[in-house]
Amino acid sequence: MDDTVIRIGGMSCQGCVKNITGVLKALAGVSGAEVLLTEGEARVSFDAGQVTREALIAAIEDAGFDAE
């Protein structure tokens, strides 16, 4: 398992946190996702053989948020 921290812009409430958490956990290969509103980031555990960090970022951006 790999772990990464992704900076997220555009979150304003717990609804945003729930949305992003759901998007990340729905991806094959993601074993855990913690989205922190106050820090503006997501901490994600994933299997790099199934999903890339770039795919995680793309999923967040597709949900309407800025990610890096």
Could you give the C-alpha distances from 67 to 33, 34, in angstroms and in order?
Answer: 15, 15
Please give the distance of CA 14 from its chain centroid, rounded to a whole number.
14
Q: For position 13, what pLDDT does the model report?
A: 96
Tens digit of each residue's pLDDT (9 = 90 or more) over 23-68: 999 999 999 999 999 999 999 999 999 999 999 999 999 999 999 9
Nearest to 35 by CA among 18, 49, 51: 18
Sheet holding 66-67, edge to edge: 30-36, 41-46, 2-9, 66-67
Q: For position 18, what pLDDT does the model report?
A: 97
Domains of the chain listed by start with CATH number: 2-67 (3.30.70.100)
Tens digit of each residue's pLDDT (9 = 90 or more) over 8-23: 999 999 999 999 999 9
Q: For position 47, what pLDDT does the model report?
A: 97
Q: For position 14, what pLDDT does the model report?
A: 96
Rounded to two decimals, the pTM is: 0.94
Nearest to 30 by CA among 7, 16, 49: 49
